[in-house]
Amino acid sequence: MAQVLEFKLPDLGEGLTEAEIVRWLVQVGDVVAVDQPVVEVETAKASVEVPCPYGGVVTARYGEEGTELPVGAPLLTVAVGEPAAESGEGSGNVLVGYGTSEAPGRRRRVRPVAPAGGGASRGVNGSASAPAPGRPVDAGLPSGPVPVISPLVRRLAREGGLDLRQLAGSGPDGLILRADVEQALRAGSGRDRGRTAEVPAVAAPAPAAAPEAGEVRVPLKGIRGAVADKLSRSRREIPDATCWVDADATELMRARAAMNAAGGPKISLLALLARISTAALARFPELNSSVDTGAREIVRHPHVHLGFAAQTERGLVVPVVRDAHTRDAESLTAEFARLTEAAHAGTLTPGELTGGTFTLNNYGVFGVDGSTPIVNHPEAAMLGVGRIIPKPWVHEGELAVRQVVQLSLTFDHRVCDGGTAGGFLRYVADCVEQPAVLLRTL
């Protein structure tokens, strides 16, 4: 007898609580193999093809293309035969690198539930079933934990003044979804085409102002929304400070030109700045850290996983070069190029976008001299590099035209004081001005 197994949307990376279905790769009734990609989803950071750990016949899909699902919501169900049911094996490979802690071989008989987006789900015979509507919970019912997975849903309800205990979710086992909260908030006074949700009158959202002529509203969702949330969190939680210095980069540019003239792979300027940064972090490890607010501890990381800001058509992303402190300039150049290409193609994996311990931001590519970077939470510091341009400069006691760059360091003042931050930045500037300094300290 076949066994129906539910495959849920796995945790696709740290800090990501939901994903949007971009394209289904299978239909109801299709036979899928173990580890076959079944759906393409887009998180706030990357597009990912999600493979299914079970082999069998697809009996149901949950959510239409364009629907956002929270992590842990069902994606599809698969009917597997006796051999698979007896062996109790799923590959588990879908979970590798996605940060989930759910046991890969876990099985559960389920009944089809409504798609997260509120659309109808389709069974094996193709018939549609209506979604289970959200409804208020009677005040006399016993209290218990509110079935919510996504922090986004909790925040949306909190900002709208909505008591989640008044809702029964339309997700599996009463899970409250984003659509349920948005429906309740839209109801306002308590009614919206048959779905009832009592919102406290004092907390009802204020009516929106009439749009002005020509006004354009852009939803803060997807990658733009993720960037907004992360930057806002950084500003809320991190008491940051910024210091900066101008440096004469003439000798660094000459050194790079000499390296590239010697033959072999070309070395990028970003790679040289990364080598300088990792050497500086070895001398000032306080800046390669994060703060555990719950434990009230500063966590100093033993490895430098170097993030770098990359502007793409989809928005700003920060790919991460693993173990940057162990790489030479040639290896760093190649890895920067690979990750940048993947960023523009939208194929970065969650593992390539998370886990950074320090970020390098070369905003000089935009033709600007300086900036005050926002720390990439939960990291403790970011080094910003402006454009390198000819400027008048006093060199060896005489006025000369030199290649000058402004360097800025924004740091979390909880992990160190200004002396440490200034020492780090001064060391970076000294290496930029005299690359031999770096050779002496390696």
> Virtual CA dihedral for 438, 245, 377, 239, nearest 10 degrees?
130
From CA 318, how far away is CA 341, in angstroms rounded?
13
- Indicate the residue type of 217: R
Catalytic residue among 323, 328, 395, 413: 413
Nearest Cα residue to 320 out of 362, 358, 267: 358
Task: At 88, give phi and psi (nearest 5°).
Answer: 65, 25
- Pinpoint the alpha helices (H) of 176-249: 178-187, 222-237
Token readout for 313 is 């058509």
Give residue for tokens 């033959």. 263
Active site residue 413: yes
> CB-based contacts of 93: which residues, under 8 Å, 6+ apart?
35, 51, 53
From CA 411, how far away is CA 281, in angstroms rounded?
13
User: What sign has the CA pseudo-torsion 109, 142, 171, 69?
Assistant: negative
From CA 362, how far away is CA 107, in angstroms rounded?
48
Active site residue 344: no
Nearest Cα residue to 350 out of 16, 2, 8, 7: 16
Catalytic residue among 229, 303, 417, 430: 417
CA–chain centroid gap for 13, Å, is: 7
From CA 126, how far away is CA 27, in angstroms rounded?
10
DSSP assigned state of 168: B
From CA 390, how far away is CA 405, in angstroms rounded?
9
Q: Which regions of 159-302 does DSSP assign to beta strands (E)?
A: 191-192, 195-196, 240-248, 289-292, 297-300
Cβ count within 10 A of residue 236: 8
CA–chain centroid gap for 170, Å, is: 27
* Residues with active-site annotation: 413, 417
